[in-house]
Amino acid sequence: TYKQMDSFKWLLNKAYVNGKWISAENGETFEVTNPATGEVLGSVPDMNGSDTESAIKTAYVAFRSWKERTAKERSELMLRWTNLCNAHKEDLAKLITMENGKPLKDSMAELSYGVGFLELYAEEAKRVYGDIIPTNAKSRRLLVLKQPIGVCGMITPWNFPHAMITRKAAAAIAAGCSVVIKPAEDTPLSALALCQLAEEAGLPAGVLNVVTVSRDNAPDVGRTLCESPLVQHISFTGSSAVGKCLLSQSASTVKKTAMELGGNAPFLVFESADLEAAVKGVIACKFRCSGQTCVSANRIYVQEGIYDKFVTRLAEEMDNELRTGDGLQPGTTQGPLINQRAVQKIDSFVQDAIQHGARLVRGGSKGQGNFYYPTLLSEVTSQMMCAREEIFGPIAGVLRFKTEDEAVIMANDTQWGLAGYLFSRDHSQIWRVTERLEAGIVGVNEGVVPCPEVPLGGWKESGLGREGGKYGIDEFLELKYVCMGGL
């Protein structure tokens, strides 16, 4: 169990602010449970707006000295942090599996991805170049400086308890910012483990702060971060409803924001595709982390000529590849959903689809506790809930299309635009469709495309800004135009 994990046992019951392991001012706590077993893993402080105010003040003080360090110093500390995370990879992965439920293999993949951001931004810290612009007058020189924006507030989701923190915080810290993070209430332990390793690496007090907060206190803490004049940037990954709320709260202080919100990813399989590759692509894209990723395939469109064969092959591959169980057991590919709220939502989508004429090919039932069996529905139509809303669970709903034009129009017929996928071997078709898809991320003949080196983010209502790669650090930098006159 968690308590037996040598490296992290002393984290229990505390949050991390100003380089100290602390309780909430009022002493309140909340429990963290394993979604696979219901076991209580531990308790963490239930902090509120007032605790968050203190953390922000601390971060502001830390920011003033952190930004004065040289890029190389920041880079070296971050590389040490990277190495420590690598050294504790197995334990960090187990921790993810225990609080999130995803299979150990997926947790290890998350670790590689997440630590990849630490490494990348440790390197990028040294590459924040300004510009010298050709002058418009002999007596002047025109320069552009890039400087860290300030204290950054971050609110992160439970589906990638480690990587969604490193993706944001590593970029901000590399830029010279300090951060106050509110991790999801389901998965605060991975965030705290990252703090422990940052402390061991020698990151100065107050640069990285984690306030742990229950669902009940989340609105208060969110508002405090968004409305504080000391916070200059808000970065959020989560549902569109919460993102819109944070965006409007941030308006009061004209904060820069980065929002990665919901998706409704289309996955197009053309008659020109390698059908076996497309089936494997769906297994990876749809069922990784039980479909609980922002870029999971949500609407699988298959061209009519290969529709029946595709559904048959996908069902067979699901039988062969997917094993539901406790994520710590070897061989498990499908862990539990995060909580009962998620199970109820998934089940209502399946019932809605069946009532409206979809055919249940596999699954469609709840298991014990938070488990839901991988489900395949064919004859899905655009009106069904599972095609209109983000599923965030293990339902593969397959829709039918006739022409390329029709497929693209249906794919784009949504307010979201995070990811899109297409499988085809026709090169002109690949270019045509890729360019027409309204999405920030496109996978061509690939089901799993995110990696630390690339810009990740959405079009339309799926978000603002980009995380990852060289683009991700710009989020946390302000430009300063300097006109040097009298020369």
Give the contacts of 238 (CB within 8 A, at least 6 positions apart).
155, 156, 157, 184, 260, 261
Q: How far is CA 480 from CA 65, 132, 142, 144, 151, in A?
A: 19, 12, 11, 6, 18
- Closest approach, Cβ 344 to ligand ADP, in A, equals 12
- Closest approach, Cβ 151 to ligand ADP, in A, equals 17
Q: Of 98 and 184, which has the nearer Cβ to ligand ADP?
A: 184
Active site residues: 260
The single residue among 24, 77, 163, 242 that binds ligand ADP, judged by CB under 6 A, is: 242
Site string for ligand ADP, 196-235 (x = CB under 6 A): -------------------x--xx--x-------------
The single residue among 103, 157, 394, 450 that binds ligand ADP, judged by CB under 6 A, is: 157
What angle is formed at CA 4 by the lines to CA 193 and CA 21, rounded to 5 degrees?
35
Contact call for residues 120 and 453 (beta carbons, < 8 A): yes
185 touching ligand ADP, by CB under 6 A: yes
Contact call for residues 459 and 440 (beta carbons, < 8 A): yes
Stretch that binds ligand ADP, among 31-39, 154-162, 266-274, 347-355 (CB under 6 A): 154-162
- Closest approach, Cβ 246 to ligand ADP, in A, equals 6
- Closest approach, Cβ 45 to ligand ADP, in A, equals 15
Q: Of 55 and 184, which has the nearer Cβ to ligand ADP?
A: 184
Q: Of 259 and 398, which has the nearer Cβ to ligand ADP?
A: 259
Could you give the CA distance from residue 226 to residue 246 in angstroms, rounded to a whole number?
7
155 touching ligand ADP, by CB under 6 A: yes
- Closest approach, Cβ 342 to ligand ADP, in A, equals 8
367: phi then psi, degrees, rounded to nearest 5: -100, -160
Q: Of 116 and 222, which has the nearer Cβ to ligand ADP?
A: 222
Query: Tokens 């920030």, residue?
Result: 440
Candidates 62, 234, 90; CA nearest to 162 is: 90
239 touching ligand ADP, by CB under 6 A: yes
Stretch that binds ligand ADP, among 122-130, 238-246, 357-365, 443-451 (CB under 6 A): 238-246
Question: What is the DSSP code string of 355-394?
Answer: HTT-EEEE---B-STT-B--EEEES--TTSHHHHS---SS
Q: Of 48 and 75, which has the nearer Cβ to ligand ADP?
A: 48
Give the contacts of 377 (CB within 8 A, at least 6 positions apart).
350, 353, 354, 358, 359, 360, 361, 364, 386, 395, 396, 397, 398
Which single residue brings its beta carbon nearest to ligand ADP?
Answer: 222
Interface residues toward ligand ADP, by CB under 6 A: 155-157, 182, 184-185, 215, 218-219, 222, 238-239, 242, 245
